[in-house]
Amino acid sequence: MVSEMAKQLASKFKYLPETIERFIALFGLDETEKMLLAYEKHPKATIRTNTLKIDSYALKERLEWKGFILEETILDSDGFVVKKQPFSLGSTTEYLSGFYFIQSQASWLPTILLDPKSNEIIIDMAAAPGGKACHIAQKMKNKGSLVCIDISRERIRSLRSNLSRCGVINNICIRMDGRDLNKLQLKADKLLLDAPCSGEGLMAVDKKRRLERGLEDINRMSQLQKELLAAGISSLKKNGVLVYSTCSTAPEENEENIDWAINNYPIKIEETNLLDFSPGLVTAFDKKYNEDLQKAIRLYPHKNGTEGFFVCKLRLLEEINI
Amino acid sequence: MTIIFRELYREEEELLLTELNYWLIKSNIDSLKKQYSFVIAEGKWRELLISNFETKKLLKEKNISPYSIGLKFCEIKESKIELGLPGIQIIGEITNKKAIITPEAEQAFLYRNDIICESVIEINQDLNVNDKVIVKNKEGESLGIGKVMVLSINMKKKQFSKATAIKNLMDLGWYLRKGK
């Protein structure tokens, strides 16, 4: 049963009434209204320096000479908020030379939490179009090995193109269903699962989703995400780190999956030591999740100026036999 | 189509060496070979890829069938080598066979256009007509590869100012046109 208030807000902001009802149940009316207003604005454009090719100081100087105005961010010293762009960020010589990646600030977080090191084997389970993969490679200083998985023929081409532009040499790209990851018989030091999701956190960027994606999509994605998580966990070495993220604020795609994984695998949630973000939920609707989910991070457009986002860092305590 | 990843055949090694000899001096070739590991990817196309040694070892040990590995250094078409964009960037860092062009020509070149003589700021004097050349901007970035159309000594002559100096063979704008 959808409330009158939910119907009114849905009509005003052009969402499915059921979506608004869920937001109110999760965040309360006041927060929901603030979030809906924030979703009306496009998030600020941000870029991340590709330190495999240039340092952030030199990039800033180059782009500002061309009329761009860049502002440092506290999240990552290699990233900038673009305050003014005289022409498209995607057509500069610097972009084509792979000096930067156009990527939202929220998307920097999974790699920051993964904390890649040079000598490691790292798997990026849903890698296309490659923003996070390039970020991982630069943190690895192009050493070790980065295994990039994606199922889509079209998207893996774009992944390869971005890896090429950014000069990522330590990559192996494999076109396969991430759920079959075990078939590779590979045990990684670290694994990123930026899971395919309903994109509920992208309402500002893709307004069509407001009326096209509902609970059915969320539940379908949640099932797929659990299967991917299971495959990812099984492909880690003992003490390996898995970072799970989505651009969705739906607990079914986030906390519920992590809670399910904790109950089925020898894993624990790690502290992120990142301040200024909202904690993961420990209750949602009529469900209660593991208390450690407070260590997960949630980002909201009205609080962080980003898309809606979830990220959680997990550690495998015992290797899984495959 | 299945892509097979394998070591270079002898004739491919010779072909690669001939190409590298065109662009680089011996010490640069030696350091390139020490820095990168080479792999052939053969499917519909035959590509020569460069990787790091750890990743190539992982590929062999795990018997993985990937879509690609590392970066495309070049494509081998019959007995000719066509440098890929990463190959152009790597070679461009260390070769003397380069031309530096004006900022105005830089934008035009990135849109697949050729370069006229008056847009060439500097070019290696040893280059002959039909020789390949790495095209760079004033900041030293490799923008692509071209074919010399006018002898370098004639490029500054007034009668050649609007003539095509370098024909565009491949440029970074590919990432916008086809790489998305």
- SS3 assignment, position A24: helix
Task: Return d(Cα A320, Cα A288) in angstroms, integer.
Answer: 27
Same-domain check for residues B106 and B128: yes
The pLDDT confidence band at residue A129, using thresholds 50, 70 and 90, is very high
- Tell me B96's DSSP state: S
What lies within 8 Å, CB to CB, of A289 at 6+ separation is: A251, A255, A256, A258, A259, A280, A281, A282, A283
Does residue A208 have a pLDDT over 90? no
Domain range enclosing A272: 105-316
Judge whether A65 and A181 are in contact, CB under 8 Å. Answer: no
Question: How many structural domains is chain A composed of?
Answer: 2
Does residue A124 have a pLDDT over 90? yes
Interface membership of B173 toward A (CB under 8 Å) = yes
Task: Return d(Cα B39, Cα B50) in angstroms, integer.
Answer: 6
Could A186 and B55 be called an inter-chain contact, meaning their C-beta atoms sit closer than 8 Å?
A: no
Same-domain check for residues A23 and A132: no
Q: Catalytic: which of A134, A166, A197, A247?
A: A247
Same-domain check for residues A201 and A286: yes
**What is the value of ipTM here, to two decimals?**
0.96
> Which residue from B58, B84, B110 is facing A96, i.e. has the nearest CB?
B110
Same-domain check for residues A128 and A268: yes
Could A172 and B69 be called an inter-chain contact, meaning their C-beta atoms sit closer than 8 Å?
A: yes
Judge whether B160 and B150 are in contact, CB under 8 Å. Answer: yes
Same-domain check for residues A27 and A164: no
Same-domain check for residues B80 and B109: no
C-alpha to C-alpha distances, A305 to A6, A73, A81, A308, nearest whole angstrom: 24, 12, 11, 9
> Which residue from A96, A142, A173 is facing B66, i.e. has the nearest CB?
A173
Of B58, B92, B126, which marks where a domain is finished?
A: B92
User: What is the pLDDT averaged over residues A95-106?
Assistant: 97
- Tell me A292's DSSP state: G
Could A167 and B141 be called an inter-chain contact, meaning their C-beta atoms sit closer than 8 Å?
A: no
Please measure the distance between the N-terminal and C-terminal CA atoms of chain B and give it in whole angstroms.
Answer: 22
Task: Return d(Cα A309, Cα A250) in angstroms, integer.
Answer: 9
Residue A123 belongs to some domain of the structure: yes
Task: Return d(Cα A191, Cα A314) in angstroms, integer.
Answer: 10
Judge whether A100 and A135 are in contact, CB under 8 Å. Answer: no
pLDDT value of position A212? 87
The nearest CA of chain B is from the CA of A249 a distance in Å of 28
Does residue A167 have a pLDDT over 80? yes
> Which residue from B68, B173, B180 is facing A158, i.e. has the nearest CB?
B180
Interface membership of B88 toward A (CB under 8 Å) = no
Does residue A214 have a pLDDT over 90? no
Same-domain check for residues A126 and A254: yes
Interface membership of A22 toward B (CB under 8 Å) = no
Task: Find, in chain B, the residue whose alpha carbon is nearest to that of A187.
Answer: B62
pLDDT digits (tens, 9 = 90+) for B79-119: 899 999 999 999 999 999 999 999 999 999 999 999 999 99
Q: What global pTM score does this model have? A: 0.96
Could A173 and B137 be called an inter-chain contact, meaning their C-beta atoms sit closer than 8 Å?
A: no
Of B92, B113, B135, which marks where a domain is finished?
A: B92
What lies within 8 Å, CB to CB, of A25 at 6+ separation is: A285
- SS3 assignment, position A290: coil
The pLDDT confidence band at residue B78, using thresholds 50, 70 and 90, is confident
Is A166 annotated in the active site?
Answer: no
Same-domain check for residues B81 and B104: no
Residues in chain B closer than 8 A to A172 (CB atoms): 55, 58-59, 64, 66, 68-69
Task: Find, in chain B, the residue whose alpha carbon is nearest to that of A181.
Answer: B64
Closest CA to B94 of B19, B13, B7, B27: B27
- Dig out the tokens for A187 from the structure: 């045990």
Closest CA to A242 of A59, A115, A66, A73: A115
pLDDT value of position A219? 96
Could A145 and B54 be called an inter-chain contact, meaning their C-beta atoms sit closer than 8 Å?
A: yes
pLDDT digits (tens, 9 = 90+) for A7-64: 999 999 999 999 999 999 999 999 999 999 999 998 889 999 999 999 999 999 999 9
The nearest CA of chain A is from the CA of B89 a distance in Å of 9
Burial class of A141 by CB neighbour count within 10 A (0 to 12, 13 to 18, 19+): middle
**Which helix (H) or strand (E) segment is A111 a member of?**
helix A109-114
Task: Return d(Cα B53, Cα A53) in angstroms, integer.
Answer: 20
Domain range enclosing B52: 4-92
